Structure 1
Amino acid sequence: MEQPVSSIPYGETGYFNQLVVDFLAEHPHIRPYYKYSPVKPPFEEVIKAKKAHPHHRETLVAALEQQYQGLETSAAVKANISSLADPNTFTVCTAHQPNIFTGYLYFAYKILQTIKLADQLKAQYSQYNFVPVYYMGSEDADLDELGHVYIDGKNIVWPTSQQGAVGRMRPEGFEELIETIKNTLGYGAYSEELITLLRTAYLERENIQDATLFLVNELFGRYGLVTLVPDNPMLKKLFVPVMRDELLHQHSHRIVNDTTERLSQHYKVQANPREINLFYLTETGRERIVKMGDNWKVLHMPLEFTAATLEQELQNHPERFSPNVILRGLFQETILPNIAFIGGGGEIAYWIELQELFAHYKVPFPVLVLRNSFLMVDSQSQQRLQKLGLDITDLFGDVETLVNSFVQKHTNASLVLKDEYAAIEKLFDDLVIKARNIDVTLEATVGSERNKAVKSIGKLEHKFLKAEKKKFAWQTEQIRTLKGKLFPANSLQERKENFMPWYIHQGPAFFDMILEHLDPLSDQFGIIYTK
């Protein structure tokens, strides 16, 4: 039986782009765009920089206490919220949209990594306190991304016609959705408990962000995780100076464009800034704000502001202004005493565009940490791999290439016609010499016939392999089945699957198991062998 955990470098998985690999390796092409090492961060230096920055801790604590009203919270969550008033308390943060039913498996990985890094920092720097925070991107309006969940090969979609920020949407139709999930999951020791939890979250809450807050608190509150919903007038008010500057002067467009122009020499740019990187947010819409002459207009809405009315709107209703991806991180780091941000490859790709923007507004840039990635391999899959004589790392590549190499390795026939290719090449080399001696114009004819002969050998080689595969039908089918199970839709498991198929059997112990295997500052892709 395999060891309970192994790993593979990110660059060898085939599922991560060069930017991620270079980020972890601190390659000279990318290193100037982030302040601290992602694997060995100098946390003392980071804490010192954050301590020197002004904070609005009272406002943050008040917003959190208001947000948690009516929720049953663990003693650890209560203590962590209270501790945020202390100037020696700092946060470790991850961010994610309120995908229905938490969306992808990596949602749990990000949160658990945040919890573990905060715990490790507490142990290392006992003079400080560190609070793990899940920052909910509830203002995201991408329902195509947020409104579905994938379970056991089935994509379960929330059919709603609502528009605007997903966090503000009403959870209509969730009775049927939860029933579909119940039937899809089947029986497990924790099935009933989980379905009851989903019903309480989505059927007894007014909107998706409240449902997500409840669900995340129930699942991770025992670890002391604090969930922050930034769609809050008190918190938005703290960001008014930056939002005003954005609307009046559009500095972010120029600053981030300068960075992306340099970055694009080596990498694909993740997010391009707009002239104004703010949306206007209502209960049913989230639309761009654009400058038109001396006024500001909200696209697709009958709303227009002068400089005076815009200032009035900022002061009276800051919650109606919503930062896009360019300003979101700056907002996060303005309202939180944060020292580290844990994000996936896409998030890291846009954060590295922002360092100079942070410097412009004199906001300390956090440590950027790549989220942990895992593949969980069940015992049945482990046994099949052993029978086939394969290592789990073999499955990261193209499945048909693996099938071909497996057949070639185990067949008694000679399927690779190297000697035949060599014989053909020698034969035609001799024919070229003869043709040249007879008539130089015949050389092209010989070359053409050579190409035809080589193609014929190639076709024969393909037919030999195809015929031999039939003798290994059971094994090749097993390889394809394993690939499909562990890499659904040829994607990483964590990017498709949801936590629930594991949770119904293991309950809270599932998260404990992941937490145990996490290394928050790892530069390796983890493989967990489960029972």
Structure 2
Amino acid sequence: MDIECLPFDHTGYFSELICDYLKEKKSLRSFYHRFPNLENFQKQVEEKTKNFPQSRREVLYDALQNQYKGVQITKKTETHIRQLKEPITFTVATGHQLNLFTGPLYFLYKIVSTINLTLELKKAYPRYNFVPVYWMATEDHDFEEINFFNFKGKKIQWNPDNLQGGAVGHFSTEGLKEVYQAFTNELGNNGNAEALKQLFEKSYLENNNLTDATRYLANALFGEYGLVIIDGDDVNLKKQMIPYVKKDVLEKMGFQKVAETISSLEALPTKYNIQVNPREINYFYLAEGIRERIIEKEGRFYVNETEIEFSKDQLLAELEDHPERFSPNVIMRPVYQEVILPNLCYIGGGGELAYWLELQSMFETMGVTFPVLSLRNSVLVIAKKQYDKLKRLNLSTTDLFLKQSSFINKKIREISNIDIDFTPQKKYLEEQFKALYDLAEQTDKSFLGAVKAQEVKQKKGLDSLEKRLLKAQKRKLADHVTRITDIQNELFPNQSLQERTLNFSELYLELGDDLIPMLVKVLKPLHQEFLILTY
């Protein structure tokens, strides 16, 4: 097994905001609390200890005991749940949607990064306990984002006859037998294929809803590492959010503070893309079959796309009596998570961290400790036979990260027996026109525009000729172009990162039960570089 590392900003697949965050750029310092360095966790522990009362631990423990009823768990997970009652125990959390059969491969990288950070923290701070937590996004309602996974270039998709509404965690697993059949038809019959069939069957055909199915699946994959899986769609957990719901719904605190932060981001010299925008109310109303936004108009509160409405007093009564019906959106879910967990660090992808960076001021105003933000590990996994093919084609792994047109042009130039790089000619042309500019300056300055126009025309001509020659050479070397693009497409399906498209089952077919231990061995969450792993 060989490992290469590549800085995230050299991959071309991560935003400028995230790359600058990883570089600890000074202009971003006010948008987070503590950077993910090992030494910063001592202060994070001290602050969280002050702000996380024992009563919350008791509620969390009882909720987890209830959620795990009937679930067979490992001794390590059982120990971790019990330790959460102790004031010396803290969590590292990641979150993910309930994607069918984990969805993209990075689901594994998120959780392994989380597990490995708890192990690193235990070594550095042995007097404390650290528990890895996976937060299931059971209350999301975008079914189209989660109802499929990719397998060997095919989309394995769940299309139920009766599309259910509301939170996806409540969705019945009825209809997944057809998905199971489609998947097994593609799998084949080797030993690892049989294990995948059983895992899908036990997860989705032996559980009644998507929450239970996902809990079973994550527990089966990561239980031996003590992963604790939590469902925020829980009445007792949500009771603790009541004061924070009021601050958002009645005082518009979420909207005001996040809008201010966005304005500060937009005022920076570097123009970053804004990931999410707050709403005046950042909660949905959650009931059987519905999850719709709460909207205020002229002092009354309405549930969008329904006939449900409340006065202010009625809404407050509903919140006190049924806190489970108030579902946080992307702005407020992080607050909910940090209120109910003794959490030190959130591990997420680039898009997630981009919206977390909008939230610190809101956390501070609400009196909730803002967690350390750590970018999850990213990995390109290359099989030995693929690596051998790269070597035969004289391709470096870094070549593969180029956009395909640039990748092809670069390799054609390298292997061509004709020098199709007109940079020297363009430089010579510039020198010639410099003399013409001097001549025009000395004789008649009105000719400067004509000289400039001629220079632009000549450069365009060289660009056009260069492109035509390169195109001709591509035709001449068509076989080689096909071979290099084939291997890039294998490793970057749909010209995107492997981890954003592939499902873990493709690697499991090759590696079986060695897959997750291999990742646990090599992923280092605080080592902020992209990994290229050859097995």
Q: TM-score, normalised by structure 1?
A: 0.93
SS at match of 2:301: strand
Question: For the Cα contact (< 8 Å) 2:404–2:495, is it kept in 1?
Answer: no
Q: Secondary structure at the match of 1:32?
A: helix
1:45 is matched with which residue: 25, 43, 46? 43
Match of 1:415 among 410, 420, 425: 420
The equivalent of 1:357 in structure 2 is: 362
Deviation readout 1:20-70 (Å, 9 max, x if unpaired):
111111111211111111244511111111111124111111111111111
Q: Percent identity?
A: 40
Q: CA deviation at 1:450?
A: 6.8
Distance 1:183 1:295, change over 3 A: same
Q: What residue ranges of structure 2 are gaps of 5+ in the alignment?
A: none
1:439 deviation in Å? 12
How far is the alpha carbon of 1:388 from its aligned partner?
Answer: 1.8
Match of 2:236 among 234, 237, 249: 234
Among 213, 216, 240, the alignment partner of 1:214 is 216
Calculate the aligned-residue CA RMSD, in Å. Answer: 2.6
Deviations 1:269-306 (A, max 9, x none): 21111111110001211101111223211111111112
| Match in the other structure for 1:121 | 121
Shift of 1:473: 2.5
Question: How far apart are the structure 1 equivalents of 2:120 and 2:395?
Answer: 36
Please list, as runs of the form range in 1=range in 2, the aligned pairs for 1:102-121 lying within 5 A after superposition. 102-121=102-121
| 1:18 pairs with 2:29 | no
Q: What one-letter code is carried by the residue in structure 2 that aligns with 1:481?
A: D
The letter of the residue matching 2:524 is D
Deviation at 1:351, TM superposition (A): 1.0
1:151 partner letter: F
Q: Look up the SS of the partner of 2:420 in the other structure.
A: coil
CA distance in 2, matches of 1:496, 1:100: 13
The one-letter code of the counterpart of 1:75 is K
- Deviation of residue 419 (structure 1)? 6.6
Partner of residue 31, structure 1: 29
Q: 2:250 matched to which residue of 1?
A: 248
Of 497-506 and 213-222, the range deviating more from structure 2: 497-506
| Contact in 1 for aligned 2:174/2:208 (Cα 8 Å) | no
Cα distance 1:256–1:425, how it changes in 2: closer, same or farther (>3 A)? closer
Determine the C-alpha separation between the residues in 1 that align with 2:534 and 2:332: 40
**Secondary structure of the corresponding residue to residue 290 of structure 1:** strand
C-alpha distance in structure 2 between counterparts of 1:289 and 1:521, whole Å = 39
Deviations 1:292-346 (A, max 9, x none): 2232111111111123322221122111110111111110011111111111111
1:131-142 aligned within 5 A: 131-142=131-142
Where structure 1 has 5 or more consecutive residues not aligned to the other structure, the ranges are: none
Query: Which secondary structure does the structure 1 equivalent of 2:254 belong to?
Result: helix
Q: How far apart are 1:185 and its partner, in Å?
A: 3.3
Q: Is the 8 A contact 1:24 1:38 kept in 2?
A: no
SS of match in other structure, 1:368: strand
Contact 1:191/1:505 (8 A) holds in 2: no
Question: Residues 191, 453 of structure 1: CA spacing in aligned structure 2 closer, same or farther, 3 A cutoff?
Answer: same
Aligned twin of 2:266: 264
Amino acid at match of 1:172: E
Structure 1 residue aligned with 2:88 = 88
CA distance in 2, matches of 1:104, 1:146: 10
Alignment of structure 1 residues 419-430 onto 2, 5 Å: none
Range with greater deviation from structure 2 (71-80 or 472-481):
472-481
Specify the SS of the correspondent of 2:191: coil
Per the alignment, residue 170 of structure 1 pairs with 172
**Where does residue 151 of structure 1 map in the other structure?**
151
Q: How many residues align?
A: 528
Aligned residue identity for 1:197: L
Deviations 1:73-125 (A, max 9, x none): 11111111111111111111111111111111111101111111112212222
Q: Distance in 2 between matches of 1:241 and 1:423?
A: 71
Measured after TM superposition, the shift of residue 407 of structure 1 is: 2.1
Counterpart residue number, 1:72: 72
Residue 418 (structure 2) pairs with residue 405 (structure 1): no
Work out the CA distance in 1 between the residues paired with 2:483 and 2:392: 10
